[in-house]
Amino acid sequence: MKRLLILIGVAALAWHGWPVSAPALQNPPPMTDLLPADPRAAPIQRNMAHGPRFSVNGLEAHALTQYAVSGRVLSSARYRLGRAAGLAPFDFALGWGRMTEAAVIDRLDIHQGGRWYFWRYRGEPPLPLREIETSSANVHLIPADAAVARALRRTQAGQMVALRGYLVELRAADGWQWRSSVSREDTGNGSCELMYVQAVSRP
């Protein structure tokens, strides 16, 4: 029994408390000059015709937009296996505007899986469905450094958070690619944001 308890404790440590490192970077982009977004409003996005290019774990990264989002963490997930997990180990389902309000969130069943964010409700929806869709998003998070990685790991569902950085596209030599959505209006496949996070704070 004692051995079993030790194994359970080691597994719990590996799952919840094991340190997470940031992916290896070359030629990282300059710090975004955007101010933190207002959690009561939509994220701030500044499109760039020729965004900086850099390397993440040996993959080509292209910054598509500067991006700042503030809101409530509706759910969070950590991934450990596979190429994508080595690049973006965290996903946050984020809500802004009225999707930060407890009266709204308490009426939604929210969960994540397979790098998707899901929500459902019973009875009448707490907000118009289109508002839920355009006031929340699943964001794949690439930490810029170890400090950002620690801050993301410590952020829990229910907390308010402000993130700043870039929405990016990643490409590998073998043809694999991962591209961020650059719209808050889309849904379904390809609608998640892939964010290179340079700053984490509490609004």
pLDDT digits (tens, 9 = 90+) for 63-110: 999 999 999 999 999 999 999 999 999 999 999 999 999 999 999 999
- 13 DSSP assignment: I
CA dihedral for 12, 105, 101, 161, sign (positive or negative)? positive
Question: Which pLDDT belongs to residue 19?
Answer: 58
**Tens of pLDDT along 192-202?**
999 999 999 99
Query: Can you read off the two tokens belonging to residue 83?
Result: 């190429």
Domain ranges of the chain: 23-201
What burial letters (b/e) apply to 97-128, b meaning 16+ CB within 10 Å?
Answer: bbbbeeebbeebebebeeeebebeeeeeebbe
Q: What is the mean pLDDT of the chain?
A: 90
Is the pLDDT at 6 greater than 70, yes or no? no
What integer pLDDT is reported at residue 161 of this predicted model? 98
> Phi, psi (5° rounding) for residue 7?
-65, -40
Given a cut of 70, whether residue 2 has pLDDT beyond it is no
List of residues 6+ apart from 170 with CB closer than 8 A:
56, 59, 60, 61, 62, 87, 177, 178, 179, 194
For residue 12, pLDDT over 60 is answered with no
Round to whole Å and give the CA distance between 108 and 120: 6
Q: Residue 5's pLDDT band (boundaries 50, 70, 90)?
A: very low
**pTM to 2 decimal places:** 0.89
Which of 13-17, 51-55, 177-181 is predicted with the least confidence, judged by mean pLDDT?
Answer: 13-17
> Smallest Cα–Cα separation from 56: which of 25, 97, 81?
25
pLDDT of the residue at 8: 36
In the predicted model, is pLDDT for residue 17 greater than 70?
A: no
Which residue, among 105, 106, 111, has the nearest Cα to 135 in the 3D structure? 105
Residue-wise burial string across 156-169, b where 16 or more C-beta atoms lie within 10 A, e elsewhere: eeeebbbbbbbbbb
pLDDT digit string, tens, across residues 155-189:
999 999 999 999 999 999 999 999 999 999 988 88
